[in-house]
Amino acid sequence: METISFSVENLCVPCACRCRHCLLGYDGNTIGAGYEQGKALARRLAAGSPVEFSYYIGYCMDTPALFDYIAFCREIGSPGGQFLQMNGFRERPHDEFRDLMGQIRDAGVELIDLTFYGLPERHDAFAGRCGDFQLLIKMLTAANGAGLPVHISASITEDNAGELEGLFELLSGYKTESLSLFLPHSKGRGWFLEPRRLTKATLERLPMSVRAHMPKVKTQSEAQWLSEDEFPEPDKRYLTLSLTPENFERYSGMSAEEIVGELESLDDTFYAAVPPIAELAKLYGDPSGDRLFRYRDLALLWTKRYVRENGLTLHDMTDECGHFSVRE
């Protein structure tokens, strides 16, 4: 198993939304260490990391430290210096959003992302905040006015698929760099969305104006994945350390190499307790399953079912609220 990268997440900024697919399961409480503490540790780890390093904050970018964060990411070569996910901001007057977008552009950010979940009523219900749809439109308008490029992402489920053509028509009145659909996966609150995962039958009924924005990575029904009878094991992993007030002092005394070694050990131990994907397919695969998956997300769902049904008490490396890995 080759370790490709090492990241540090510091979930220290509150979010104004409670999205139904939130992979971090945000409940209004931040679990990260202090911003300045996290930055100081990340600077040291970036200098000594044996693999590619990145640092990010969350649950949201709505923080007084935003411009310091952008500058720091540019300093250490982390993606936050060029790209920002901008959901979950608090309400502001339009002129404040206009000024904010111009400042973000001037700070060196090249692209922001805004995420929609359907037309206004459904979007607000999914985001867990009344008025969130109109707030995103206000942000999009402000970004257009500031000349800040915007990518639009939109979730697609059984519930909102029929609204996406109308959503895209509405958004066509704004300048956007690109628009892409994504299938929510089973991390965090996404676990409870699995019964509403998009099906092949629903996708085939949608117009090409919607289907053209589906993920470019191979996506097909569970039945199709099973019929191919090929379940390759991942050989690469991307490791993330989740920084908290409780573990900050300990990791402050460790080198980047030592932390990577600890994360690799946690990852090896967790996956040694989970059967290979081919065996998980036999345990949980539905040969008639019509719901659509990327291969990685189908393997993730089966893994999470195994962990839940067998009561594993090991550190769960699929849970992004703690240290975690992404394997592929």
- For 219-249, write each residue's pLDDT tens digit: 999 999 999 999 999 999 999 999 999 999 9
The pLDDT score that the predictor gives to residue 130 is 97
pLDDT of 5-32, one tens digit each?
999 999 999 999 999 999 999 999 999 9
pLDDT of 36-59, one tens digit each?
999 999 999 999 999 999 999 999
What are the CA-CA distances from residue 139 to residues 6, 89, 148 (Å)?
32, 9, 11
- Angle, CA 79 vertex, CA 83 and CA 36 arms, to 5°: 105
pLDDT > 70: percent of the chain: 100
Span 80-105, average pLDDT: 96
The pLDDT score that the predictor gives to residue 131 is 97
The pLDDT score that the predictor gives to residue 113 is 98
Strand duo 324-327 + 236-242: pairing: antiparallel
Q: In this structure, are residues 302 and 281 in contact, taking their beta carbons and an 8 Å threshold?
A: yes
Label residue 71 by pLDDT band (50, 70, 90): very high
Span 123-145, average pLDDT: 97
* String of DSSP letters for 199-266: BHHHHHHS-HHHHTTS-SS-EEEHHHHHHHT--PPP-EEEEEEE--TTTHHHHHTS-HHHHHHHHHHH
The pLDDT score that the predictor gives to residue 315 is 94
Nearest to 196 by CA among 186, 181, 188, 204: 186
The pLDDT score that the predictor gives to residue 152 is 98
- Angle, CA 173 vertex, CA 210 and CA 184 arms, to 5°: 35
